[in-house]
Structure 1
């Protein structure tokens, strides 16, 4: 809404709004707690195993989203102020990737698990410490938040059940299998590994519906096994992509934007980059270990 106040044309998305929306839709995820929860609920031996793959894949989608918007809007990324933010981040990510490149698949999985657990524990402790310093009643506040979370989950449950039923019907009808088999044959024709194809239902529906993507993820975990390669890819895709059309509709609809310009194209490109990166990173981390 603040950006809309600065927008000279109230029905056409401004450059600033498009950049904000694309970065939002690129789904930069630092701590994918919900993915950990889904994996834990399905009995994963190590729910946080996908922490690093999600972090790397979501970084790729955000970078592609930023570069695509910069190209469309002719942004000067070489501006000293911009470079002051981009270069340290790029060097940090590049150095981290260089360290990871020297590790085996088993070591990568172990490191991802350790970092995920440490990050999760560290954030919880940070909340407790900050709450204590600010004299906030941490436990009472947590209970109130948990009550609200339970109400949200209760409201979402009927939709999730409906989506799970719809996914079951789609699979039972053979339509989804037909689509996946077509993709599988195409991948085989190119001489590539096809294990990731079973994770694609999550990627196909994620731009439209988060509930449907969750249903697809859970279905993949149940049918393939929670720690199978397709389930790991699906979890990484779920954690590194966003409901692009929903985000654009909600944000632009809330402020009366009718013409999105290049927002949809850039957001979908970032989404596609996130899916490709998720698949590639999972082959890097789990391709030989699972």
Structure 2
């Protein structure tokens, strides 16, 4: 177990150092290249700020208006039938929209039930196996001007649904619940 801690502590410094050393030996002006990349990234950041603000406002309105609670009440019988813990459902619904929102729900689950509880394990697996699909599509598609997302939204949300379902199944299977 000790070597895994050592590996995780040194992984990032080793990768960064390797990039610097390889760049030096290939005679790449590493610092100047970094500055040039940062300079080119700044306009992209400015372009995506409106999309980020819009997404954060939409998530806040969704949570604060009570729409999330209403949706949860409506779906509760379905999740009870499927043996999906109701405490994990808000995270499953919010994960495709907001990473911060789902992280706060996971933190609440940890504080209430503990990180080693079944709910804590399901929340951890779900957080790691899914992505903020709508956030990613909004930011990336918006920043490059794509207006028609075609199948990206459907496939992304379907994969989030699969991640949520399999998070529960895998934890039940692995820990004999």
Normalised by the shorter chain, which TM-score bucket? Answer: 0.5 to 0.7
Residue of structure 2 in register with 1:202 after alignment:
91
Structural mapping, 1:54-203, within 5 Å? 117=5, 120=8, 123-124=11-12, 126-127=14-15, 130=18, 133-134=21-22, 176=69, 179=72, 183=76, 185-188=77-80, 190=81, 193-194=83-84, 196-203=85-92
Deviation at 1:231, TM superposition (A): 1.2
Alpha carbons 1:200, 1:234 under 8 Å: kept: no
Q: Give the TM-score normalised by the residue count of structure 2.
A: 0.61
Q: Give the TM-score normalised by the residue count of structure 1.
A: 0.40
- Structure 2 residue aligned with 1:242, among 116, 119, 131? 131
Partners of 1:207 and 1:128 lie apart in 2 by: 31
Residue of structure 2 in register with 1:259 after alignment:
148
Residue of structure 1 in register with 2:37 after alignment:
none
Aligned residues: 140
Structure 1 residues 131 and 265: CA distance shift in structure 2, 3 A: closer
Q: List 4+ stretches of structure 1 deviating above 6 A.
A: 113-116
Superposed CA RMSD in Å reads: 3.7
Deviation at 1:120, TM superposition (A): 2.7
Residue of structure 2 in register with 1:79 after alignment:
none
Bigger RCO of structures 1 and 2 (CA < 8 A, at least 6 apart): 1
Partners of 1:212 and 1:227 lie apart in 2 by: 21
Gaps spanning 5+ residues in structure 2: where?
25-58
Residue of structure 2 in register with 1:217 after alignment:
106
Residue of structure 2 in register with 1:25 after alignment:
none
Deviation at 1:135, TM superposition (A): 8.9
Structure 1 residues 253 and 180: CA distance shift in structure 2, 3 A: same
